Amino acid sequence: MKKILLILCVLTFFPSSLMADALPDSPKFKAARDQLVKYDIEGHGISDPQVLAAMRSVLRHCFVPQRIISRAYADTALPIGAGQTISQPYVVALMTASLKLNKTHRVLEIGTGSGYQSAVLAKIVKEVYTIEIKEKLHHKSNRLLKTLGFTNVKTRQGDGYFGWPEASPFDAIMITAAVNHVPPPLLKQLKDGGLLILPLGNPFSYQNLTLITRNGDDYTTKLITGVLFVPMTGQAMAK
C-alpha cells in the first residue's frame, strides 16, 4: 500500500474570499487530474471504477485557496483556512473506496471542510448529508457546492459529534477529523450492515484509519493504515 503523506494541519489563515470558487475547467487542469488519478490513486491500489471516475471529474482546483491553486492536483493535503485542510487526494479516494458505496446509498459526512470530499461522495451516492462545525467554512462550502451543481448534498453547520438523527439511518458515515473514540450517536445512526470510517486515535498524534461495520448491536473494526488528520473539535474534545 502507498505510504500516506501526513494530513497535517498548517495553521495559516486563508480568508474565504481567497478560495478559488467555481473556476472553469481547462485542458491543463484536466490533464493534471488524469495524471493524479493514474499515478497516485489507481497506481497505488484504488480500483473502484466509481471512485476513480469521481476523482477524475471533481474540480479540486475550485476547493483550494487561489494563492496555492498551482498545487491543487498535487497528492498532498493543503490548508484551506480556519486551521483546516483539504485532504490528500489518495486519502479521499481510499476512504471513499473503503465504504463500498453505490448509487442507492445515503452517506453522512462529519467535517465538510472545503466541500471536496462531499463532492466526491456526491458523484457516487444518492444523497450526502454533511456537517461542518466552523461557520465560515460551512457557508463557503455550501455556496460552492451549490454553484457547482451538487444538488444531492445537504449541508448543516453544527457539531458533527451528534450526527443528523432526523435523517438517519445512514448506509455509511465518514468522519474526516481525528478523534480518540467513536462518537456513540454516530454508531446509533448507522444502518445495520452499514460502514463507518474515521481516523481513530490521539487527535494530536498519529491515528489509525479505521473501518467499523455494524452487525445489529455488535460492531467489528478493521485497521487500514496510519494517518494524521486535524482534530475533531466540539463535544469530541470534552471526552
How far is residue 168's CA from residue 186's CA, in Å, rounded to a whole number?
9
pLDDT at 23: 82
Task: Report the C-alpha dihedral over residues 168, 170, 174, 177, rounded to 10 degrees.
Answer: 10
Q: Any idea which residue has 463532492 for its cell?
A: 119
In which residue ranges of the chain is pLDDT below 70?
Answer: 1-21
Q: What is the pTM of this model?
A: 0.91
Name the active-site residue from 57, 70, 87, 205.
87
The correct answer on CATH 1.10.3720.10 for the domain covering 16-238 is: no
Q: Does 205 qualify as catalytic in the annotation?
A: no
Q: What is the pLDDT of residues 190-223, one digit of tens each?
A: 999 999 999 999 999 999 999 999 999 999 999 9
Residue 151: what residue type?
A: T
